Amino acid sequence: MSMETRRIRKVLSGNHAASYAVKLANVDVIPIYPITPQTTIVEKIVDFVENNEMKAEVIHADSEHSAMAAAIGASASGARVYTATSSHGLLYMYEMIWWAANARLPIVAGFVTRSIGPPWNIWSDHNDYLTLRDSGWIMFFASSAQEVFDMTLQAFKVAENPRVRLPVGVAWDGFQISHSFEPVELLRQEEVDAFLPDPRDIKPLLNVDEPISIGNLPIATDNMMFRESIWRSMERARDYIKDVMNEYRALSRRNYGYLIEEYKAMDAETIFITMGAISGDAKIAVDKLRENGERVGLARIRVIRPMPVTDLVRLGRIANNIVVIDRNVSMGLGGILAREIKSIFYDFYVETPTYGFITGLAGTEVSPEDYIKIYRMVLDGEVEPSTNIWYYHGGVMK
């Protein structure tokens, strides 16, 4: 590579990696409201705008609900829009979250995961983000600052595809990713401009020459058809996301897999399924266990909606044991990923024992040693697949 085509590498936090992606994506409108641990994303974006490094309209909203409402208005007018939030801010935004999906608006948002109070907290678990799972948002989950940067750019391309036209969320863990600094390789502006569609090609819903209203009362059957239309777009998006990630992989020379990243899973007898920051500890645990001859692998979920059904079924058929690590819980049912994966396995006659561990809630530590202990519990027959095991750092509470 000559000097002119060299890419910039910076030491960035996960949040600042998102800010740089938003800057390179030439986003038009950014409605914002601060909340820990999201705030540094929009602080950095405001820096860019104030220093004339980026030309965008920043709207200082009076709440997250208003921020998403402003995002909806801007997106309906054909602008490229980004916003970000966490935890209680996301829940306050929640009504407008559904509005954005049902109105088919290609908004991209960053969700920095954080527990929901009370009691008060600032540390990560995934329950806030997983409230989006029935809404019609496409849901990405990153596990490094570099991946935050890459996924945010991919999100715009997926959202704006005329055959998809759905909002895309990109999530990453609060503090563990959002405030940890890592080397991040940025794409050059020309590369991003060539990769992303021209924002002027976004088909605006609103047009002053042809007035319409969005969301008027339809008959009930039409209303159901709108929901089915979202369903079909979501099903189509599964293949399209792979295409976008493939194109991006050729461009960036970085390979995370597609909807799922596999790590030493091909010949594994026991496969961990994880999501987000704690997947890094799982990789270390896999390496340590493999040094002792244990055939262990890892599958990290990168896209939760649309659910990577065929990838999961394939892994279920390879393995003798599937161990799902949930950093979330659905009260009265179990870990959300474990329960969803079990229901997929049932559909496809996969009878592999599938264990669900609920751990890392409210930012509790999940270390490589914890994965090794969980592995021992499963192989020594200490736990049943039908139970939801509450695993704390160090073990199960007696």
Partner 1 sequence: MNPEEILYPISKPSKGSSGPTWMWRFTKPVIYIDKCTKCGLCWVYCPEATINILENGFPKIDYEYCKGCGICDNVCPVDAIEMVNEYGD
Using the structure block, give the residue that is written with the tokens 């969320």.
Answer: 169
Q: What is the DSSP letter of 362?
A: G
Given the complex with partner 1, which of 211 and 293 has the nearer CB atom? 211
Between helices 368-379 and 279-291, what is the axis angle to 10°?
A: 60
| Phi, psi of 170, rounded to the nearest 5 degrees | -120, 120
What are 196's two structure tokens?
A: 């992303």
Q: What is the DSSP letter of 334?
A: B
Give the distance, in angstroms, between the CA of residue 6 and the centroid of all CA atoms in the same chain: 29
Given the complex with partner 1, which of 201 and 210 has the nearer CB atom? 210
> In 3D, which of 161, 154, 124 has the Cα closest to residue 139?
154
Cα Rg of the chain (Å, integer): 21
Q: How far is the CB of 33 from partner 1 (least distance, A)?
A: 26
Which residues, 6+ apart, have CB-to-CB distance to 222 below 8 Å? none
Interaction site with partner 1 (CB under 8 A): 102-104, 162-163, 165, 205, 210-218, 225-226, 228-229, 232-233
**What's the CA dihedral at 57, 59, 64, 65 to 10 degrees?**
-90
Given the complex with partner 1, which of 5 and 221 has the nearer CB atom? 221
Q: How far is the CB of 215 from partner 1 (least distance, A)?
A: 5
Q: How far is the CB of 219 from partner 1 (least distance, A)?
A: 11
Q: How far is the CB of 211 from partner 1 (least distance, A)?
A: 6
Given the complex with partner 1, which of 142 and 164 has the nearer CB atom? 164
Q: How far is the CB of 266 from partner 1 (least distance, A)?
A: 35
What are 313's two structure tokens?
A: 């079924």
Given the complex with partner 1, which of 226 and 392 has the nearer CB atom? 226
- What does the alpha-carbon distance between residue 338 and residue 20 come to, in Å, rounded to a whole number? 34
| Phi, psi of 267, rounded to the nearest 5 degrees | -115, 20
Given the complex with partner 1, which of 103 and 151 has the nearer CB atom? 103
Q: How far is the CB of 132 from partner 1 (least distance, A)?
A: 19
Q: How does strand 388-392 pair with strand 395-396? A: antiparallel
Given the complex with partner 1, which of 208 and 212 has the nearer CB atom? 212
Q: How far is the CB of 140 from partner 1 (least distance, A)?
A: 21
Given the complex with partner 1, which of 163 and 398 has the nearer CB atom? 163
Give the distance, in angstroms, between the CA of residue 259 and the centroid of all CA atoms in the same chain: 10
Q: How far is the CB of 207 from partner 1 (least distance, A)?
A: 11
| Phi, psi of 397, rounded to the nearest 5 degrees | -70, 130
111: region left, alpha or beta (phi > 0 left; psi from -120 to 50 alpha)? beta
Given the complex with partner 1, which of 136 and 335 has the nearer CB atom? 136
- What does the alpha-carbon distance between residue 120 and residue 117 come to, in Å, rounded to a whole number? 5
Q: How far is the CB of 56 from partner 1 (least distance, A)?
A: 26
Q: How far is the CB of 164 from partner 1 (least distance, A)?
A: 8
Given the complex with partner 1, which of 214 and 309 has the nearer CB atom? 214
What are 1's two structure tokens?
A: 């590579």
CA quadruple 185, 186, 190, 191: dihedral positive or negative? Answer: positive
- What does the alpha-carbon distance between residue 53 and residue 46 come to, in Å, rounded to a whole number? 10
